[in-house]
Amino acid sequence: MPDYPIVNAHHHIGHPDDDQDSVFQWSESVAQIIDTMDENRVDASMLMPLGGENDRSVTEVHDSIYEASEAYPGRIFGITAPNAHLGREFVHEEITRCVEELDFKYAKLHTLAWGVDPTSDVAYDFYDACVENDIPVMIHTGPHGMPFSVPGMLIPVAEDYPELDIVMAHMGGAYTLTQEAIILAKRYENLYLDTTLALNMYVRRAMEEVGADRLLMAAEHSSNIPVALTKIDCIGASEDQKRQILGGNAIDLYDLDVAVQDWEEKEISAAD
């Protein structure tokens, strides 16, 4: 059993009043997420809204994530994800509210769900809000959402915002654009790679060529948590590299105070 905390650094949850998201057609409850975390010995997960929150109902999802973080302190952390098309004022105010009042840890720009060009003015307004609030940004990359989700679109962003840590969600996707994402991460030190949906051999290549210190394990959905963990076991990582990828990098990048679980004690208590 690892002697270090495990952090799932990218996980979506929909509106608590809806059975499924209007864009991606799936969702789940906080209880389901916690149960799956416990089954797989994941200490913490970071939750963000799904793509269907294209109106101001996103504030309600943010609030529900905050309630979950209060119910499970140190195990659930929040990520803000307002639609960039809702306007500079709303986006800035909502990101600021989430950081200052709800203690959220980063923001996600969803190029696929919202149809956002990551080099556009609305995207740059989004990045400005992240810089002003001193938080990293995650940007969706991959074949779904092209052309806006192509990793190469982030070249001017990485150059224009050298002070902003940028996480490429899915590190370019399962296969199509992953090598491009790895090349960019080698070039720009403020680019990080998120392992969701990426194939094992490219995660290994990223570890070897970019470095384990810029890879973050994540699952996106509870059903993918076992896969996300097993993937890191299959890439020839040393224990120190696993420590970084499976949680250490997320803790450092997002300044997390994780409630490390005593899994043996929990299992004994559950058996009694």
Note whether residue 149 is domain-resident. Answer: yes
Q: How far is CA 173 from the centre of its chain?
A: 14
Residues spanned by the domain of 93: 7-271
Query: Quick one: pLDDT band at residue 265, thresholds 50, 70, 90?
Result: confident
Beta-strand (E) ranges in 146-266? 166-169, 191-194, 215-216
Note whether residue 2 is domain-resident. Answer: no
Question: What is the tally of structural domains in the chain?
Answer: 1
Question: How many angstroms separate the CA atoms of 206 and 200, rounded?
Answer: 10
3-state secondary structure of 176: coil
Q: Tokens 């679980």, residue? A: 261
Q: Are 258 and 249 in contact (CB under 8 A)?
A: no
Neighbours of 60 (CB within 10 A): 14
Note whether residue 28 is domain-resident. Answer: yes
Task: Write out pLDDT tens, residues 155-179.
Answer: 999 999 999 999 999 999 877 799 9
CA atoms lying within 13 Å on the CB side of residue 76: 25
Query: Quick one: pLDDT band at residue 266, thresholds 50, 70, 90?
Result: confident
Q: How far is CA 50 from the centre of its chain?
A: 12
pLDDT at 144 over 60: yes
Note whether residue 175 is domain-resident. Answer: yes
Strand 166-169: give its sheet, edge to edge.
7-13, 44-49, 76-80, 106-109, 137-140, 166-169, 191-194, 215-216
Task: Write out pLDDT tens, residues 175-199.
Answer: 779 999 999 999 999 999 999 999 9
pLDDT at 53 over 80: no
Does residue 179 or residue 264 have the better pLDDT? 179
pTM value is 0.93
Note whether residue 12 is domain-resident. Answer: yes
What integer pLDDT is reported at residue 26 of this predicted model? 64
Q: Which of 30-44, 49-63, 82-96, 149-163 has the lowest mean pLDDT?
A: 49-63
Residue-by-residue DSSP string for 242-265: HHIIIIIHHHHHHT-------HHH
Note whether residue 65 is domain-resident. Answer: yes
Question: How many angstroms separate the CA atoms of 62 and 123, rounded?
Answer: 20
Note whether residue 232 is domain-resident. Answer: yes
Note whether residue 1 is domain-resident. Answer: no
Closest CA to 157 of 134, 136, 182: 136
Task: Write out pLDDT tens, residues 60-80.
Answer: 899 999 999 999 999 999 999
Task: Return the CATH number at 39.
Answer: 3.20.20.140
Q: Which helix (H) or strand (E) holds 68?
A: helix 58-71
